[in-house]
Structure 1
Amino acid sequence: MRAVPIAVTALSALLLLTACDDGGEGGKSGQPKKGACAIDKVSMEVGPASVAPAAGDTGEVPVGFTNQSAECTLDGFPEVRLAGAGDSETFDVPPAEGARAQKLTLAKGESASFTLTYVRGPRGEGAFDAKNLHVVFPSEAGDPSTRVFRWSYGPVAGDGDGGFEISVGAYQKVGD
């Protein structure tokens, strides 16, 4: 009877996987998983960018960071927002179509990055005149922490459906 050994193996695997789960929620829920990378524990920079020179052109803005503390993890997609003048108007940047999130573990001194891809829009005419880029990480207290960078890459084109032509790629490990 082969059913019993297969059932026992499957049950054992399920128990092992359950034992690895800390019960925390990652991502945008506000509750980081144990060991999640914290924004105050990484150095971060935006650029250099491949700026879209004119309306209708596509540009890419990389965001890189290096873990400055104990080993930590990144899980899910980066959480980023664009904001207008005075941060009065903001919107969440969606993940790139077809992109797959991955879980990364960064030791102290290791780096990762993600890229924003956008289409430059004409001033006005349904484009978003972005002024700031907000990069959000979960914090150990459960409240998100944000770093703000100046957006100097021009307005972001509207997509015709009330959104904008910008997306964020998955976290990628830098180097070996």
Structure 2
Amino acid sequence: MPLPLLRTTAFLALLLAAHPGTAQNSYNWWDARPPAPVTPLPRPARKPAPIAPASAITVVIDSLPLTTGKYTYVEVMPAFPGGQENMLNFLRQNLQRPRAPRQHGRVLVNLVVAATGAVTEVRVAAGHGLSPAYDAAAVECVRRLPRFMPGRREGKPVPTALTVPVIF
């Protein structure tokens, strides 16, 4: 019996010695090569948007005046005397911090500039306040704003809704 065992062992040794690297290469051939470079697909060229002729200008219909009598889209927006920078300076100078714990942030205040230019219907925009004390201080400061030049629609002064940021 030792002879068949010897023959089998010798056969295996001969088989393994004859092809020592074949089995190794058959498993790792992809590791020996560098990966292929990844190139993005070419993007199609953008076509410029066609320009509409002047006669095809669309008018945005403002649905707000149907329910409230106030506009959000007007040809001439309300203007603060001296411009936006003067309005922000006015707010900074007249803003009084509440005695509540000190906070930093922004309160958005909605207001309506009436056809006369007076500031009316001042309130904090929903979800854009800091705390009740800071919201009240911002509303009080915006109420003190002097008259605006009213917004105009079709050449007539109209009440216009605005939003003003008050920064603490």
Higher fraction of helix: 2
Structure with the largest fraction of strand: 1
TM range (shorter): under 0.3
Q: TM-score, normalised by structure 1?
A: 0.26
Rg (Cα) greater in structure: 2
